[in-house]
Structure formats: C-alpha cells, structure tokens
C-alpha cells in the first residue's frame, strides 16, 4: 500500500521513459493509490475505532490481524 508521497513519486517516475515504472498503466497506479481509501477497509475501520476511543474493538481487530500495524491510512478528525 502506498502513501500519498509514494504515489506521487511513482507517478513522477512514470513520466520518464526507459524505467520500470514508465510501463505501469495509469489505471493500475490509480487502483493501487485508492486501495486504502475505502471507508470499509480494515485499516480505515481500525483507525475509526482508535479515533473514537473504541480501544476494545481496535485491540480485537489487531488480535485477528496484527499486520494492520504495518498499514497506512488516512482519517479525518472526528467531529465532537
């Protein structure tokens, strides 16, 4: 999963011909970049639990899938 700066770097590398990234279709880059943006993805759900203080649910998710700590995601600040 790519964060925003990695995605921009990939798009920039794609513009220069003669490298591995120049052959990657833009649709594939778009798919990779939007993979974690789903509000129903595991990382989005985990971040929502943490942001709203539901640490019991967050711990349960991490017990099932500890690799979630290796993922990145974005979450808007919760409205109070």
Provide the pLDDT for residue 62. Answer: 96
Q: Do 46 and 62 touch, CB atoms closer than 8 A?
A: yes
Largest CA distance in the chain: 50
Question: How is residue 77 annotated by DSSP?
Answer: P
Spatial contact of 75 and 51, defined as CB atoms under 8 Å apart:
yes
- pTM > 0.75: yes or no: no
Q: What are the helix (H) ranges across the chain?
A: 4-15, 26-34, 42-51, 55-64
14-38 residue pLDDT tens: 888 888 888 888 788 777 766 545 6
Domain regions of the chain by residue span: 4-37, 38-80
């Amino acid at each position: 999963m790519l964060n925003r700066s990695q995605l921009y770097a990939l798009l920039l590398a794609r513009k220069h011909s003669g490298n591995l990234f120049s052959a990657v279709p833009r649709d594939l880059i778009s798919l990779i970049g939007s993979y974690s943006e789903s509000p129903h993805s595991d990382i989005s759900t985990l971040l929502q639990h943490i942001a709203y203080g539901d640490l019991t649910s967050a711990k349960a998710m991490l017990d099932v899938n500890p690799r979630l700590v290796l993922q990145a995601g974005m979450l808007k600040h919760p409205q109070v």
